[in-house]
Amino acid sequence: MPTYWDYLKLDSLLDLQSGLEEDGDVELPDELHFIVVHQVYELWFKLTLRSLRHGRDALLKPTVDEEMVPVVAHHLRRAVSILHLGVAQFEVMETLQPQDFLAFRDKLTGSSGFQSFQMREIEIVLGLEAAERIRYGKVDPLEHIRSIGEDTPATRLARHRIETASAEPSMREAMQGWLYRTPIQGSTPDKPDDAERVAEFIETYLAALDAHNRRGQDKLLKTFADHNKEQVEKRFTGIINTARNYLNAVDVAEDERAVRRRARAAILFIESYRDLPLLSWPRLLLDVVVQLEEQLVLWRARHARMVERLIGHRPGTGGSAGVAYLDQTASYRIFKDLWATRTLMLPKTALPELIDAELYGYHEPS
């Protein structure tokens, strides 16, 4: 009969806090604290990656059954909860005082949290592209992992995991494919007039958005008589032009434009008519993905503040600019279309009329 300690392999787990000495736990209690906190982060990252891949693989299927959408949302919500806990965990890390950290920091020279291949793996699995990745100086984080370190089992694991993740489809790609297949105004991509139906939805929505904005513009000018009418009108005209360009994906390469255009329209459609039964789980999934990225942004920002509190603006032990580099990474947005669509949202009373509304209701089994 297995015991609790056998099941969790506690004999092995509790023997992994030796640091570089390899002869039992490190002597300094603050260094033991440092090691344990970071090992716990890596365990959470392992579970996060499992949840992300599980959700992504479900969305990659050519047809995603309705009952699978809440399953995907469940696994992504778990990743959200882990990252939320990770943000709070920095409070534990900050019980380490700056001078106590300096007592052993020099031992870490050459190593850095920058080298957390599981965090890089999370970024890759989510869909952060190479061109979007921030470098420190001329160093690319992935090339750094591929080229640094002696040929140890951990180094080989790091390189293997990065290469494997880089060869996989990302969550962003899976989401885009799933959104592309979303019925918009009752139309699906396999219908011959689908492009026209989607274009009609976009133009009708833009007209409703323009009318709503003009009401806001008129109210603004009546409330603040000293505002320059020409400047206000120019600002509101710019908003609708930006919305039109975005929904028509003019910023996307021509060979990808049709897919991105329909996926963006699908986000807007799901968010706008989110109370319909058939759209209730898809809109929740979109919310969870936004929450996931929000927690990742908060984790990065909290990480930067923790580092600044401990070492100020010293260079990182791995050669980065330290806090300055970490602050830059908080600007990452992987699911840009989900964030951008929020700028275009309308109140329910201003939405265009829904076509084929019965398609999005509950269907009793025959």
**DSSP state string for 57-89:** HHHTSSS--TTHHHHHHHHHHHHHHHHHHHHHH
Q: Is residue 264 part of a domain?
A: yes
Q: What CATH number is attached to the domain comprising 287?
A: 1.20.58.480
Q: Is residue 7 part of a domain?
A: no
Q: Is residue 10 part of a domain?
A: no
Domain that holds residue 354: 16-360
Q: Is residue 227 part of a domain?
A: yes
Q: How many contiguous H segments (helices) and E segments (strands) does the chain have?
A: 15, 0
Q: The whole model's pTM is what?
A: 0.91
**SS3 at position 95:** coil
Residue type, 60: L
Q: What is the pLDDT of residue 225?
A: 65
How crowded is the C-beta side of 304, counted as CA atoms within 13 Å? 16
Give residue-wise pLDDT tens across range 255-298.
999 999 999 999 999 999 999 989 999 999 999 999 999 999 99
Q: Where are the alpha helices (DSSP H) in 66-193?
A: 68-93, 98-105, 117-126, 141-147, 153-167, 171-180
CB 41: neighbour CB atoms within 10 A?
A: 21
Give residue-wise pLDDT tens across range 46-95.
999 999 999 999 999 988 988 899 999 999 999 999 999 999 999 999 99
Q: What is the pLDDT of residue 358?
A: 79
User: How many domains is the chain built from?
Assistant: 1
Residue 25 has pLDDT above 80, yes or no: no
Residue with the larger pLDDT of the pair 176 and 358: 176
High-pLDDT (> 70) share of the chain, %: 95
**CA separation for the pair 312, 20 (Å, rounded):** 25
Q: Is residue 3 part of a domain?
A: no
